[in-house]
Structure formats: structure tokens, C-alpha cells
Structure 1
Amino acid sequence: MEDHPLSYTDPTALTAHRAPSVPLTSAATLELVLSSLDDDKAEDVVQIDLKGKSAMADTMVVASGRSTRQVAAMAQKLMDRLKETFRLTARVEGKDTGDWVLIDTGDVVVHLFRPEVREFYQLEKMWQDIGRSGV
């Protein structure tokens, strides 16, 4: 039988289509996010439970980096880890500037800030107050 160049299968191409190594759940995603931020020395990490408060996600995570470079690097590493672990390509905004990066994984929304920008917007305060009555 004659060899056909189009019939060649690259074994490395098959690894890109394998199943995720960990089942994609809200809890597993949150665990990976928190672990990644801890590994990358994120500061003032706050997690906000959005269940029953918003349909957009189960949890919001807010964290700070010391500089635009650290914020952008934390975002990139988190996106790489999500892709490697869950085969998940998260939506991201703001990575090029590094002042405020939003990463939307579906169940977990991550906001990474420079400290000055975080203080200005006070995003976690706004979300933590939602759902409280009589305040």
C-alpha cells in the first residue's frame, strides 16, 4: 500500500483534544482560581458568594497585584491554568493595560486590580452589600 502524506497523524495534536484532567465544576474552578492567585502572590484576596444574589456567576473573586505587570502576569497564568486543567478558555478584558483585569470563567468571575484602582472602584464593597436588608 502506498503512503499518503495526508494520512499522517501527529501524535501531539491528539493531546490537545483530550478530556479535562479535572471535572469542570464551580467548586473546582474556584479552588483553581484561589490556588493560582496564592501561587502568584496576589494580595487582599476576597471571595464573594453570589448565589441567590446574581445569575451571572456563583462566586466573585477580587484580588490585587502590586503593579500592572504583576496583574497582567497573574491573569495570564490563571488563564493558562484554566485551559490546562479544564480545557476552558475564559473571557478576559483589560489584560493589555493591567490596571483592572476581568476574567469570566462562567461560574467564577475574577477581578484583578492594581491597589489604587481597586480602592477607587471599591467593587467588593458594592457586591457584599447587595442582598442585605435594613442597612
Structure 2
Amino acid sequence: MAAASRSAAESLTPDAISATPLTAEETLQLILSRLDDMKAEEPIAIDIRGKSAMFDYVVVASGRVNRHVGAIAENVAKALKEAGITKIHVEGLTNCDWVLMDCGDVVLHVFRPEVREFYNIERLWTQGPQPAKTL
């Protein structure tokens, strides 16, 4: 994190929240911290700056079972709201097989392990462009 950036602790003070929104890197660090707190399995952050105009990072993690997936997503959403990020879009909390959270500059996917393996989102964002094949 750059020297000019605020520390994670400073980011959560009420004065800092109202003064300056979190940067993409601060949002990422907050999400990764909450994933660690909630014992999310195999979290991975993928830097996609330059690959997508919509967001800067994709985070993928697993929960052991549906209930764990939901608890992780709810805990991350609570932390983001406390940090002043109010425009969070969440999909998938009904079944909790795969919860998608659009947090602005960061998108979080929380899967049950077998669902994560099936969709393999990491591959989508880490593979380079493939050359077009001619017929």
C-alpha cells in the first residue's frame, strides 16, 4: 500500500469514513481480512486492472458448507458497510452455493468447494487471451 494511503485501522474510524472513500486496495485488504477472520478456505485475490473496466480485483474464496458461505458473505458485507461502502450488490444468499458480492472496485465470489471447482472462476481471470483459431 502506498505511503499516502490510510492504514486499515484509520479507514474504519467514523471521521475517515465520511472524509474519504476507501481505495480499491483498501477495500481489497478489508475483504481479505474478513475472509481470514471467518476462516474462509483458499482465498485468492486476482489483480485484473487493465483486463476489466468494471473493477480492479476479483477475490475468490470457499466456505466449507452453505451456512459457512452465507456467514462469510454477511460478515464481509457488514464490514464494508461499517467502512462506508454502502453500494454493495449481493447475489446468491438464498442458497449459498455461490455468493457474488459486487463491492465497487472489488468483486468477491464465495463458493462451496465443489461449486468453486466446477466453475473455476480463477482460470477465467488468470489465463491470458487465446489466439483465434481459423477454420
Question: TM-score, length-normalised on structure 1?
Answer: 0.80
Deviation at 1:89, TM superposition (A): 3.5
**Could you tell me how far apart the structure 2 residues matched to 1:35 and 1:118 are?**
21
Partners of 1:53 and 1:131 within 8 A in 2 = no
**2:77 is equivalent to residue 79 of structure 1:** yes
3-state SS of the aligned residue for 2:72? helix
Shift >2 Å, 4+ stretches: 130-133
**Partner of residue 66 from structure 1, selected from 40, 54, 64:** 64
Matches of 1:131 and 1:57 in 2, distance apart? 18
**1:77-132 C-alpha deviation (Å, 9 max, x unpaired):** 10000001124231000011100000001100000000000000011111110347
The residue correspondences of 1:1-135 to structure 2 (distance < 5 A) are: 20=17, 23-131=21-129
The 1:114–1:26 alpha-carbon spacing in structure 2 relative to 1, beyond 3 Å, is same
Contact 2:21 2:85 in 1 (8 A): no
Preserved contact between residue 48 and residue 58 of structure 2 (Cα < 8 Å): yes
One-letter amino acid of the structure 2 residue matched with residue 66 of structure 1: R
User: Distance in 1 between the 2:104 and 2:53 partners?
Assistant: 10
Question: What is the TM-score with the length of structure 2 in the denominator?
Answer: 0.80
Larger radius of gyration: 1
Counting aligned pairs with the same residue, the percent is 52
Please tell me whether the aligned partners of residues 45 and 63 of structure 1 are also in contact (alpha carbons under 8 angstroms).
yes
